[in-house]
Structure 1
Amino acid sequence: MLEKFGHGGDLLTAAGLYGLEAGQFVDFSANMNPHGPPDAVRAVLQRYAETIGSYPDPAVRGLRRKLALHHGVEEGSVLVGNGAAELIDLVVRLLLPSEVILAQPCFVEYGDAARKCGIPIRTVALAAEERFALTEQAVRHTMANMRDQGIATGTALWFLGSPNNPTGQLIDAGVIRLLLAEGERVVLDEAFMDFVAEEKAYSFISEAASGYGDRLIVIRSMTKFYAIPGIRLGYMVADEALIAGLSELQVPWSVNSLAQQIGEAVLDDISYAERTMAWLKEERPWLTQQLEQLGLDVAPGHVNYVLFRIPRSFNLKASELQQLMGERGVLIRDASHFEGLGEGYCRIAVRFRQEHELLLQTLREVLAGRKAGGR
C-alpha cells in the first residue's frame, strides 16, 4: 500500500509500487499548498551557508517572538517543535493522562503517541450521517461513561482536530467550550486552520494562551500552508507554565537553524497567504462539484483536501482505486486506513485546475472501466 509509513506523499514507495519514476506522479495524496514554498524560502536557502557553521538558537527566540506577535499572545506561551508530531508526543509524555480520547476518524499520530506511553485510548465515533461533526450529545455521553467508570474529571486528554484530518470538518466552538467548562483537558490540533477563511472565528489560540492552565493546548503546523514538509516545523500555544514544562522535556536543539530562519521568513509573506486563500476559495468548490458529478459522495469540508466515498454501485474499494490511479501516475490517499472509515473512502488534496482535470479524467477512465467490468 502507498501508506507504508502511515502518511501520504511517499513518492519512493509509489515508484516501487507502480513502476514509474518519482517525478512522473501527480501527487494528490499529501495535503500541501500546491503553490510551493514562498519566495522567501529560496532567499533563506541561498544565504544559509553563512550560518550553517553556528548552533541554532536553543530557545528559538526569533521565531517564537514572531509567532507571538502574529497571534497576539505572549512569547512565553509559544513553543516551537520539530513538526506537530514532536509536540503531540511531548504533550502526552508530560501530562501522562489516564486515557486519551479520540474522535475518529482522525490523525493517526494522536493514537500513536498514546500507545507509545501505554495509555489507554477511548474513541468517539464521528458519523457520516452527521457530516462527521463532533456533537455535544456525543461529548456528554462520553463524559458520562467516563464518570461511571471512575475516570476523574480532568485526568483524561481529548485530542481533537479542527479542521479534522481526514474529514476537513471544523469543531463547533460550543463543543470545545463544553469540554472546558466541565473541567476536561483538550489538545486542539489546528494544523490546517491557516486554510480556513474565517480563521480567527474558529481558532482557540487566544484562549489557550491564558486562563486554562494545562487544560487547553493548541497545536499548529507550518509545513502544510507554506509547503515546507521537508523542514519539520510546528508550534503550540498554551499557558506559560505548561510551555515551560514542555520545553524542559524537549530534546535540545530539536528545531534546527534552517527551520527557524524559514519560519521567520514565511510569516512576513502576506501576499503568499492572500494568493493561497483566493486559489482555495475557487478550486475547492469546483473540484467538489466535479467529483459529485462523477457519482462520488463528497464529505463537506473547509480546507485544502477533500474526503469522498465510492458508492457501492461501483463495486470498488479505496485500495483498488488507489492502485488503478497510481498505475496511471495519479496518487490518492486510501482513507480506509483511518479508524472509523469504511473501505470505500479516499482523500485527495486540492491542487491546480490543470491537475484537477487530469485527476478527473483518470477517475472517469477508471470508474467507467469498473462499470464495464474491466480494469
Structure 2
Amino acid sequence: MEIHGGDIYTAEEELQTDYVIDFSANINPFGVPASVRKAINGAVQQLVHYPDPYQRKLRHALGEFHQVHPDHIVCGNGGADVIFRLVRAVAPKKALVLAPTFSEYAKALEENGCEVQYWTMPEPFVVTEAILDELEQGSYDFLALCNPNNPTGTLIAPGLLQQILDLAKQKQVFVLLDECFYDMTEDEMGIDSMILDSGSYANLLILKSMTKLYAIPGLRLGYGICSNAELVERIRTMGQPWPVSTLASEAGCAAVEDHTYRTQFLKFLQEERDFLYDGLKSLGFRVWKPHANYIFFQVPGCYDLDRRLLTYHVLLRHCDSYVGLNAEYYRAAVRSREDNQYFLRCLRKIISKRGLY
C-alpha cells in the first residue's frame, strides 16, 4: 500500500487517543466552509436518487469558475481517481515521471502496463532545461508534471514549462499537469495556471482538486481540464459510473462560489507559511522556500523525527517513500498559528532534551 499523509486513524490507534495534530496532510486549517456545510445539509434530501453520472451542475459551475467549456471538464472521486481514469483512457506505453513527486502517477501507469522512467530533479529539486533533452531523445508518450511539486513545493519556471508543453505537443507526448496546489501560489508574480492556455494543447490534462483549499478530503472531489472533449468523455467512461456523490457535487458548486473564504485563506496562508518557514530555518534545518500550503525540509542524520513527534501527538509526513528521497526529508503542512507554534516548541524540546542525531 502507498504511504500518504492524513492517516490519523493509525496514529490514534497507536496512541490510544483521538487527539492528534495532523501536519502530515496539506489541508486548509480553516475547516469546511460554512457555505459548503449548508450545501451538504441541503442536499441530503436528494440522496434517494442516484448522483448525476455526467455531473452537469458541477461541471457548469467549474466551467464558469475557470472560464472553460463544461465539456472540457471531467470530475472524479478525488484527484487520484482522475489520474487512474486518464491513464486507462490514454493507455501510454512509456512514461516519464519526475522524482521526487506524488506517487500515484507511477502507480496508475504501472498498474496499466506502462513502463515508467524517472527523471530525478537536480538539487534543489527543480526542473531544469535538461528535461527537454530527455524528452527529445526518449521514446515517451506520457509525461507527468506537478506544479507546484509535491512534496518539495518547488515550481517549474513559466518559460520552461511552456517549452516543455510545446515540445511534448510536437513529439505527441501526452502531459498530465498536476495543479492541485496551484491555488496556493496565486500571490506570486509571474506564476500563472495553464488552464487558460489549455485550448492550445489537446495533449494536455490539467489536474485540480478541491480537497486542499476547501478542506474536504473526506468527500473526495477532483477534476481534470482538457480541451480534447472526445478524450474527456472517454476518461469519464473509465471506471465505475458514479464517481462523484451527490453531496460532493453540491459541496463543489458551493465552494467555487465562496470567494470570501478563498480570499481570507490565501491571506492567512502567506503569513503563516512565512512564520513556519522562518521557524524551521531557525532550528538549523535545511528548508525549501515554500510555494504551497506545506513546507519541505531536511534534517541531515535524523531518520525518525516523525516518530519522535508522535509522542507529542503530532503527525508529520516522512518523505522516505518518495522516489529519490531518503529518510532525512520531511513535509509539514501549514496550520494555524497556535498549531504551528506548538509544532516548533515540540521540535525545540526534541533538540534540547534528546538531540536529533
Tell me the alpha carbon deviations over residues 227-262 of structure 1, each in whole angstroms, 9 at most, x when there is no partner.
000101001100222212212324211111111011
Q: 1:40 to 1:372 in 2, by over 3 A?
A: closer
Q: Is the 8 A contact 1:179 1:185 kept in 2?
A: no
Alignment of 1:194-209 (within 5 A): 194-198=183-187, 201-208=191-198
- Which residue in the other structure is 2:118 paired with? 123
Q: Does residue 1:103 correspond to 2:98, yes or no?
A: yes
Q: Distance in 2 between matches of 1:294 and 1:181?
A: 43
3-state SS of paired residue (1:51): helix
- What's the offset of the Cα at 1:144? 4.1
Tell me the alpha carbon deviations over residues 65-119 of structure 1, each in whole angstroms, 9 at most, x when there is no partner.
0111111111111111111111101111111112121111100100110111121
- What's the offset of the Cα at 1:285? 0.8
- Which residue in the other structure is 2:221 paired with? 233
Alignment of 1:134-153 (within 5 A): 134-136=127-129, 138-146=130-138, 151=139
Q: Is the 8 A contact 1:167 1:299 kept in 2?
A: yes
Tell me the alpha carbon deviations over residues 135-174 of structure 1, each in whole angstroms, 9 at most, x when there is no partner.
11x212312441xxxx2xxx52110101110011121222
- Which residue in the other structure is 2:328 paired with? 344
**TM-score of the aligned structures, taking structure 2 as reference length:** 0.94
Match of 1:364 among 338, 348, 353: 348
Match of 2:314 among 330, 336, 353: 330
3-state SS of paired residue (1:124): strand
Match of 2:162 among 154, 177, 189: 177
Letter in 2 for 1:94: A
Letter in 1 for 2:333: A
- Which residue in the other structure is 2:293 paired with? 304
Letter in 1 for 2:196: S
Q: Distance in 1 between matches of 2:39 and 2:356?
A: 53
- Which residue in the other structure is 1:15 paired with? 12
Match of 2:278 among 285, 289, 310: 289
Letter in 2 for 1:168: G
Letter in 2 for 1:6: I
3-state SS of paired residue (2:48): coil
Q: Distance in 2 between matches of 1:37 and 1:185?
A: 35
Q: Distance in 1 between matches of 2:94 and 2:269?
A: 37
Q: Distance in 2 between matches of 1:49 and 1:91?
A: 30
- What's the offset of the Cα at 1:187? 0.6
Q: Does residue 1:42 correspond to 2:41, yes or no?
A: no
**TM-score of the aligned structures, taking structure 1 as reference length:** 0.90
Q: 1:371 to 1:254 in 2, by over 3 A?
A: closer
Q: 1:251 to 1:372 in 2, by over 3 A?
A: closer
Q: Is the 8 A contact 2:277 2:290 kept in 1?
A: no
Q: Distance in 1 between matches of 2:19 and 2:214?
A: 23
Match of 1:133 among 105, 126, 132: 126
Unaligned runs of 5+ in 1: none
- What's the offset of the Cα at 1:370? 3.5
Alignment length (residue pairs) = 351
- What's the offset of the Cα at 1:372? 8.5
Q: Distance in 2 between matches of 1:332 and 1:159?
A: 26
- What's the offset of the Cα at 1:212? 1.8
Q: Is the 8 A contact 1:84 1:221 kept in 2?
A: yes
RMSD, aligned α-carbons: 1.7
- Which residue in the other structure is 1:68 paired with? 63
Q: Is the 8 A contact 1:284 1:350 kept in 2?
A: yes
- What's the offset of the Cα at 1:344? 0.6
- What's the offset of the Cα at 1:198? 4.1
Unaligned runs of 5+ in 2: none
3-state SS of paired residue (1:52): helix
Q: Distance in 1 between matches of 2:2 and 2:10?
A: 9
Q: 1:49 to 1:345 in 2, by over 3 A?
A: same
Q: Is the 8 A contact 1:336 1:345 kept in 2?
A: yes
Q: Distance in 1 between matches of 2:239 and 2:174?
A: 21
Q: Is the 8 A contact 1:223 1:232 kept in 2?
A: yes
